Amino acid sequence: MKAVSLLDGLVFKEDGPNAQPLVVDESGRVMRFTLKPGQVLKPHRGPKIALLMIVLKGRGLFRGEDAQPIECGPGTMLVFDVEELHGAQALDEELVFLAILRQTPDPQPLPHGAPVIQVQ
Protein backbone atom coordinates (compact mmCIF):
# COMPACT_ATOMS: atom_id res chain seq x y z
CA MET A 1 0.00 0.00 0.00
CA LYS A 2 1.09 3.53 -0.72
CA ALA A 3 -0.37 6.75 0.72
CA VAL A 4 -0.37 9.86 -1.48
CA SER A 5 -1.11 13.33 -0.12
CA LEU A 6 -3.27 15.03 -2.74
CA LEU A 7 -2.72 18.66 -1.69
CA ASP A 8 0.90 18.69 -0.49
CA GLY A 9 3.70 19.91 -2.74
CA LEU A 10 1.48 21.67 -5.28
CA VAL A 11 3.40 23.20 -8.19
CA PHE A 12 1.87 25.97 -10.29
CA LYS A 13 3.53 27.09 -13.53
CA GLU A 14 3.42 30.64 -14.82
CA ASP A 15 3.06 29.66 -18.48
CA GLY A 16 0.16 27.20 -18.21
CA PRO A 17 -1.35 24.23 -16.39
CA ASN A 18 0.92 21.76 -14.62
CA ALA A 19 0.29 18.01 -14.81
CA GLN A 20 1.99 15.78 -12.26
CA PRO A 21 1.67 11.99 -12.42
CA LEU A 22 0.83 10.51 -9.01
CA VAL A 23 0.27 6.89 -10.06
CA VAL A 24 1.20 5.23 -13.36
CA ASP A 25 0.78 1.52 -14.03
CA GLU A 26 -0.60 -0.91 -16.61
CA SER A 27 -4.22 -0.20 -15.61
CA GLY A 28 -4.06 3.57 -16.02
CA ARG A 29 -2.82 6.84 -14.54
CA VAL A 30 -3.73 9.34 -11.87
CA MET A 31 -2.60 12.86 -12.73
CA ARG A 32 -2.84 15.97 -10.53
CA PHE A 33 -3.47 19.18 -12.45
CA THR A 34 -2.78 22.63 -11.03
CA LEU A 35 -3.91 25.82 -12.74
CA LYS A 36 -3.39 29.42 -11.68
CA PRO A 37 -6.39 31.76 -11.93
CA GLY A 38 -7.43 32.18 -15.57
CA GLN A 39 -5.25 29.37 -16.94
CA VAL A 40 -6.83 26.99 -19.45
CA LEU A 41 -6.37 23.31 -20.19
CA LYS A 42 -7.47 23.39 -23.83
CA PRO A 43 -10.20 20.94 -24.80
CA HIS A 44 -8.72 17.75 -26.23
CA ARG A 45 -9.43 14.05 -26.63
CA GLY A 46 -7.52 11.44 -24.70
CA PRO A 47 -6.64 7.90 -25.66
CA LYS A 48 -9.24 5.13 -25.69
CA ILE A 49 -9.67 5.02 -21.92
CA ALA A 50 -12.28 6.29 -19.47
CA LEU A 51 -11.66 9.59 -17.67
CA LEU A 52 -12.78 10.84 -14.28
CA MET A 53 -11.92 14.31 -12.96
CA ILE A 54 -12.24 15.12 -9.25
CA VAL A 55 -11.97 18.73 -8.10
CA LEU A 56 -9.87 19.05 -4.94
CA LYS A 57 -9.45 22.83 -4.56
CA GLY A 58 -10.79 25.99 -6.19
CA ARG A 59 -13.49 26.50 -8.80
CA GLY A 60 -13.28 26.01 -12.51
CA LEU A 61 -15.19 25.66 -15.74
CA PHE A 62 -15.11 22.14 -17.15
CA ARG A 63 -16.09 21.27 -20.70
CA GLY A 64 -17.26 18.01 -22.18
CA GLU A 65 -18.41 16.96 -25.63
CA ASP A 66 -21.35 19.37 -25.68
CA ALA A 67 -18.94 22.32 -25.21
CA GLN A 68 -21.25 23.87 -22.58
CA PRO A 69 -19.00 24.64 -19.59
CA ILE A 70 -20.08 23.59 -16.10
CA GLU A 71 -18.76 25.44 -13.05
CA CYS A 72 -17.52 22.97 -10.44
CA GLY A 73 -15.80 23.18 -7.07
CA PRO A 74 -14.26 20.89 -4.46
CA GLY A 75 -15.86 17.50 -4.04
CA THR A 76 -17.23 17.34 -7.60
CA MET A 77 -16.49 14.36 -9.84
CA LEU A 78 -16.89 14.65 -13.60
CA VAL A 79 -17.34 11.49 -15.66
CA PHE A 80 -16.29 11.53 -19.32
CA ASP A 81 -17.03 8.83 -21.87
CA VAL A 82 -14.17 7.12 -23.69
CA GLU A 83 -12.52 9.61 -26.11
CA GLU A 84 -14.89 12.40 -25.05
CA LEU A 85 -13.60 15.93 -25.56
CA HIS A 86 -12.61 17.50 -22.22
CA GLY A 87 -10.98 20.69 -20.92
CA ALA A 88 -10.87 23.01 -17.92
CA GLN A 89 -10.33 26.64 -16.96
CA ALA A 90 -9.49 28.03 -13.52
CA LEU A 91 -11.72 30.87 -12.45
CA ASP A 92 -10.50 33.56 -10.01
CA GLU A 93 -8.57 31.18 -7.71
CA GLU A 94 -6.09 28.35 -8.00
CA LEU A 95 -7.67 25.15 -9.31
CA VAL A 96 -6.47 21.65 -8.38
CA PHE A 97 -8.06 18.48 -9.74
CA LEU A 98 -7.26 14.84 -10.32
CA ALA A 99 -7.58 13.20 -13.72
CA ILE A 100 -8.02 9.46 -13.39
CA LEU A 101 -7.46 7.64 -16.66
CA ARG A 102 -8.35 3.99 -16.41
CA GLN A 103 -8.46 1.01 -18.69
CA THR A 104 -11.87 -0.61 -18.99
CA PRO A 105 -12.41 -4.11 -20.37
CA ASP A 106 -15.41 -3.03 -22.44
CA PRO A 107 -15.77 0.77 -22.36
CA GLN A 108 -19.39 1.84 -22.53
CA PRO A 109 -21.04 5.24 -22.22
CA LEU A 110 -23.14 5.87 -19.13
CA PRO A 111 -26.38 3.88 -19.42
CA HIS A 112 -29.51 5.85 -20.24
CA GLY A 113 -31.18 6.77 -16.97
CA ALA A 114 -28.00 6.46 -14.90
CA PRO A 115 -28.12 8.82 -11.90
CA VAL A 116 -26.31 12.05 -12.69
CA ILE A 117 -26.03 14.94 -10.24
CA GLN A 118 -26.58 18.31 -11.86
CA VAL A 119 -23.98 20.84 -10.72
CA GLN A 120 -25.09 24.41 -10.24
DSSP string computed for 63-79? E-TT---EEE-TT-EEE
Q: Decide if pLDDT at 89 tops 60.
A: yes
What mean pLDDT do residues 36-60 have?
Answer: 91
Q: Are 31 and 19 in contact (CB under 8 A)?
A: yes
CATH of the domain at 45: 2.60.120.10
**If pLDDT is split at 50, 70 and 90, which confidence band does 26 have?**
confident
65 inside domain: yes
Confirm whether 111 is domain-assigned: no
Contact predicate 56/15, CB 8 Å: no
pTM over 0.75: yes
Q: Widest CA span of the chain, in angstroms? A: 42
Establish if 51 belongs to a structural domain: yes
Task: Examine residue 45 and state whether it is found in any structural domain, yes or no.
Answer: yes
Domain count, the chain: 1
Q: What is the mean pLDDT of the chain?
A: 87
Look at residue 10 and give its three-state secondary structure: coil
Q: What mean pLDDT do residues 80-104 have?
A: 91
What confidence category does residue 57 fall into, taking pLDDT thresholds of 50, 70 and 90?
A: very high
Q: Mean pLDDT throughout 18-27?
A: 91
Domain boundaries, position 85: 18-102
Residues 6 or more apart in contact with residue 88 via CB below 8 angstroms: 17, 33, 35, 40, 41, 53, 60, 61, 62, 63, 95, 97
pLDDT over threshold 60, residue 120: no
Burial class (CB in 10 A: 0-12, 13-18, 19+), 90: buried
Residue 5 domain-assigned? no
Q: Three-state DSSP class for 47?
A: coil
